[in-house]
Protein backbone atom coordinates (compact mmCIF):
# COMPACT_ATOMS: atom_id res chain seq x y z
CA UNK A 1 0.00 0.00 0.00
CA UNK A 2 1.25 3.47 -0.91
CA UNK A 3 -0.06 6.61 0.82
CA UNK A 4 0.15 9.82 -1.19
CA UNK A 5 0.91 13.20 0.31
CA UNK A 6 -0.14 16.30 -1.57
CA UNK A 7 3.19 18.05 -2.04
CA UNK A 8 2.31 21.47 -3.46
CA UNK A 9 3.01 23.49 -0.31
CA UNK A 10 3.21 23.01 3.44
CA UNK A 11 4.70 20.34 5.68
CA UNK A 12 4.40 17.29 3.42
CA UNK A 13 7.92 16.10 4.26
CA UNK A 14 7.01 15.70 7.94
CA UNK A 15 4.09 13.45 6.99
CA UNK A 16 6.41 11.36 4.81
CA UNK A 17 8.76 10.93 7.78
CA UNK A 18 5.89 9.75 9.99
CA UNK A 19 4.86 7.15 7.40
CA UNK A 20 8.46 6.02 7.08
CA UNK A 21 8.54 5.48 10.85
CA UNK A 22 5.59 3.11 10.66
CA UNK A 23 7.02 1.37 7.57
CA UNK A 24 4.39 2.63 5.13
CA UNK A 25 5.45 3.64 1.63
CA UNK A 26 4.79 7.31 0.94
CA UNK A 27 4.62 9.15 -2.36
CA UNK A 28 4.57 12.88 -3.04
CA UNK A 29 1.61 13.82 -5.22
CA UNK A 30 1.70 16.77 -7.61
CA UNK A 31 0.10 15.39 -10.77
CA UNK A 32 -3.44 14.03 -11.29
CA UNK A 33 -2.12 10.70 -12.67
CA UNK A 34 -0.24 10.07 -9.42
CA UNK A 35 -3.57 9.68 -7.63
CA UNK A 36 -4.03 6.36 -9.48
CA UNK A 37 -1.07 4.88 -7.63
CA UNK A 38 -2.12 5.53 -4.04
CA UNK A 39 -4.51 3.99 -1.51
CA UNK A 40 -5.04 7.16 0.53
CA UNK A 41 -4.14 10.84 0.33
CA UNK A 42 -2.90 13.22 3.03
CA UNK A 43 -3.39 16.97 2.53
CA UNK A 44 -0.86 18.60 4.87
CA UNK A 45 -0.80 21.76 6.92
CA UNK A 46 0.44 24.96 5.34
CA UNK A 47 -1.52 27.86 3.92
CA UNK A 48 -4.90 26.80 2.59
CA UNK A 49 -5.34 29.76 0.21
CA UNK A 50 -2.00 29.01 -1.47
CA UNK A 51 -2.61 25.28 -1.49
CA UNK A 52 -6.03 25.68 -3.11
CA UNK A 53 -4.67 28.09 -5.69
CA UNK A 54 -2.03 25.51 -6.63
CA UNK A 55 -4.58 22.66 -6.65
CA UNK A 56 -6.69 24.65 -9.10
CA UNK A 57 -3.60 25.60 -11.13
CA UNK A 58 -2.32 22.00 -11.33
CA UNK A 59 -5.80 20.71 -12.32
CA UNK A 60 -5.98 18.56 -9.21
CA UNK A 61 -9.37 19.62 -7.86
CA UNK A 62 -11.61 17.39 -9.98
CA UNK A 63 -9.24 14.39 -9.83
CA UNK A 64 -9.16 14.65 -6.01
CA UNK A 65 -12.97 14.88 -5.93
CA UNK A 66 -13.13 11.73 -8.08
CA UNK A 67 -10.62 10.06 -5.76
CA UNK A 68 -12.95 10.76 -2.82
CA UNK A 69 -16.00 9.64 -4.82
CA UNK A 70 -14.27 6.24 -5.22
CA UNK A 71 -14.40 6.11 -1.40
CA UNK A 72 -10.63 6.32 -1.14
CA UNK A 73 -9.49 7.92 2.12
CA UNK A 74 -8.32 11.52 2.43
CA UNK A 75 -6.93 13.08 5.59
CA UNK A 76 -6.60 16.85 5.91
CA UNK A 77 -4.45 18.29 8.70
CA UNK A 78 -4.95 21.96 9.58
CA UNK A 79 -4.86 23.80 6.20
CA UNK A 80 -5.68 20.39 4.67
CA UNK A 81 -8.84 20.26 6.78
CA UNK A 82 -9.87 23.67 5.40
CA UNK A 83 -9.38 22.31 1.86
CA UNK A 84 -11.73 19.37 2.61
CA UNK A 85 -14.54 21.48 4.09
CA UNK A 86 -17.66 22.31 2.17
CA UNK A 87 -17.98 25.53 4.11
CA UNK A 88 -15.31 27.91 5.39
CA UNK A 89 -15.93 30.66 7.89
CA UNK A 90 -13.10 32.92 6.89
CA UNK A 91 -11.94 35.57 9.31
CA UNK A 92 -10.69 37.82 6.49
CA UNK A 93 -13.79 37.26 4.29
CA UNK A 94 -11.81 36.01 1.27
CA UNK A 95 -13.99 33.61 -0.72
CA UNK A 96 -12.35 30.21 -1.09
CA UNK A 97 -13.20 27.44 -3.54
CA UNK A 98 -12.40 24.38 -1.49
CA UNK A 99 -12.64 20.73 -2.49
CA UNK A 100 -16.03 20.73 -0.73
CA UNK A 101 -15.89 17.07 0.24
CA UNK A 102 -16.68 16.97 3.92
CA UNK A 103 -19.91 18.16 5.53
CA UNK A 104 -18.22 20.55 7.93
CA UNK A 105 -17.99 24.30 8.53
CA UNK A 106 -14.44 25.24 9.41
CA UNK A 107 -13.50 28.46 11.11
CA UNK A 108 -10.13 29.59 9.79
CA UNK A 109 -7.43 31.11 12.02
CA UNK A 110 -9.90 30.52 14.80
CA UNK A 111 -7.52 30.84 17.72
CA UNK A 112 -6.04 34.19 16.74
CA UNK A 113 -2.64 35.02 15.31
CA UNK A 114 0.61 33.09 15.00
CA UNK A 115 1.55 33.85 18.62
CA UNK A 116 -1.64 32.08 19.70
CA UNK A 117 -0.32 28.73 18.52
CA UNK A 118 -0.35 26.25 21.39
CA UNK A 119 0.04 22.64 22.49
CA UNK A 120 -2.45 20.68 24.54
CA UNK A 121 -3.27 17.05 25.34
CA UNK A 122 -6.31 15.60 23.62
CA UNK A 123 -8.48 12.64 24.49
CA UNK A 124 -9.06 10.64 21.33
CA UNK A 125 -10.84 7.52 22.52
CA UNK A 126 -10.49 5.68 19.18
CA UNK A 127 -6.71 5.80 19.72
CA UNK A 128 -6.76 4.40 23.25
CA UNK A 129 -6.36 5.86 26.73
CA UNK A 130 -3.10 7.77 26.36
CA UNK A 131 -3.63 11.47 25.59
CA UNK A 132 -2.63 12.65 22.14
CA UNK A 133 -0.29 15.66 21.81
CA UNK A 134 -2.24 18.36 19.99
CA UNK A 135 -0.02 20.90 18.22
CA UNK A 136 -2.13 23.84 17.02
CA UNK A 137 -0.54 26.38 14.65
CA UNK A 138 -2.87 29.16 13.49
CA UNK A 139 -5.36 26.37 13.56
CA UNK A 140 -8.93 26.17 12.36
CA UNK A 141 -11.63 24.34 14.29
CA UNK A 142 -14.90 22.72 13.29
CA UNK A 143 -17.70 25.12 13.89
CA UNK A 144 -20.41 22.84 12.57
CA UNK A 145 -20.54 19.20 11.53
CA UNK A 146 -23.15 17.41 9.45
CA UNK A 147 -25.17 14.41 10.58
CA UNK A 148 -22.78 11.91 9.03
CA UNK A 149 -19.74 13.36 10.70
CA UNK A 150 -18.35 11.67 13.79
CA UNK A 151 -16.48 13.84 16.30
CA UNK A 152 -13.14 12.30 17.30
CA UNK A 153 -11.73 15.00 19.56
CA UNK A 154 -12.74 18.23 21.27
CA UNK A 155 -10.96 20.84 23.36
CA UNK A 156 -12.06 21.13 27.00
CA UNK A 157 -14.38 24.01 25.96
CA UNK A 158 -16.16 21.70 23.50
CA UNK A 159 -14.69 23.00 20.25
CA UNK A 160 -14.33 20.14 17.78
CA UNK A 161 -10.78 19.60 16.52
CA UNK A 162 -10.90 16.15 14.88
CA UNK A 163 -13.65 14.41 12.95
CA UNK A 164 -14.35 11.64 10.49
CA UNK A 165 -16.98 11.25 7.79
CA UNK A 166 -16.67 7.82 6.21
CA UNK A 167 -13.29 7.78 4.51
CA UNK A 168 -12.59 11.44 5.20
CA UNK A 169 -10.58 12.46 8.22
CA UNK A 170 -9.93 16.01 9.43
CA UNK A 171 -7.71 17.28 12.24
CA UNK A 172 -7.14 20.92 13.27
CA UNK A 173 -3.75 20.05 14.69
CA UNK A 174 -0.46 18.60 13.43
CA UNK A 175 0.27 14.96 14.43
CA UNK A 176 3.15 15.00 11.90
CA UNK A 177 5.03 17.42 14.16
CA UNK A 178 4.96 15.05 17.12
CA UNK A 179 6.50 11.66 17.91
CA UNK A 180 3.04 10.07 18.18
CA UNK A 181 2.28 7.93 15.14
CA UNK A 182 -1.17 6.73 16.25
CA UNK A 183 -3.20 8.95 13.93
CA UNK A 184 -1.02 8.01 10.96
CA UNK A 185 -1.58 4.34 11.82
CA UNK A 186 -5.31 5.01 12.16
CA UNK A 187 -5.42 6.62 8.70
CA UNK A 188 -3.45 3.74 7.19
CA UNK A 189 -5.98 1.28 8.64
CA UNK A 190 -8.80 3.22 6.90
CA UNK A 191 -6.75 3.08 3.68
CA UNK A 192 -5.92 -0.63 3.69
N1 LIG B 1 -3.79 29.31 9.02
C2 LIG B 1 -3.60 28.38 7.94
C3 LIG B 1 -4.70 28.48 6.91
O4 LIG B 1 -5.70 29.09 7.15
C5 LIG B 1 -3.52 26.96 8.45
C6 LIG B 1 -2.31 26.82 9.32
C7 LIG B 1 -1.70 25.44 9.32
O8 LIG B 1 -1.92 24.60 8.44
N9 LIG B 1 -0.87 25.23 10.31
O10 LIG B 1 -4.58 27.96 5.87
- What average pLDDT does range 78-101 have in this prediction? 90
Pocket of ligand 1 (CB under 6 A): 45-48, 78-79, 82, 108-109, 137-138
Among 34, 174, 184, 188, the one annotated catalytic = 174
Name the DSSP letter for residue 148.
T
> Which tens digit of pLDDT belongs to each residue from 10-55?
999 999 999 999 999 999 999 999 999 999 999 999 999 999 999 9
Residue 187 class from Cβ within 10 Å (0-12 exposed, 13-18 middle, 19+ buried)?
A: buried
- Ligand 1 pocket test, pick from 5, 12, 79 with the greatest ligand atom count within 8 Å of Cβ, gives 79
Of all atoms in ligand 1, which is nearest to the CA of residue 77? Answer: 8
The domain of 32 spans: 2-191
Ligand 1 centroid to residue 17 C-alpha, Å = 20
- Could you tell me if residue 145 is left (phi over 0), alpha (psi between -120 and 50 degrees) or otherwise beta? beta
Among 34, 83, 176, 184, the one annotated catalytic = 176
Are 171 and 75 in contact, with CB atoms under 8 Å apart?
Answer: yes
pLDDT value for 113: 63
188 assigned to active site: no
95 or 155: which carries more pLDDT confidence? 155
pLDDT value for 109: 86
Number of domains within the chain: 1
CATH number of the domain where residue 152 is located = 3.40.50.880
> Which tens digit of pLDDT belongs to each residue from 143-187?
999 999 999 999 999 999 999 999 999 999 999 999 999 999 999
20 assigned to active site: no
Whole-number Å distance between alpha carbons of 173 and 91? 18
> Which tens digit of pLDDT belongs to each residue from 96-144?
899 999 999 999 988 876 567 899 999 999 999 999 999 999 999 999 9
pTM of the model: 0.96
Whole-number Å distance between alpha carbons of 163 and 12? 21
> Which tens digit of pLDDT belongs to each residue from 57-78?
999 999 999 999 999 999 999 9
Amino acid sequence: MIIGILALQGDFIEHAKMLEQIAIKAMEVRLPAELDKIAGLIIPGGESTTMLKLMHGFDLVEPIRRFAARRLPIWGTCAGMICLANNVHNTDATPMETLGLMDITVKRNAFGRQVDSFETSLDISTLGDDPFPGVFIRAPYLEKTGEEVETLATLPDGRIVAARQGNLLATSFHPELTADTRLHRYFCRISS
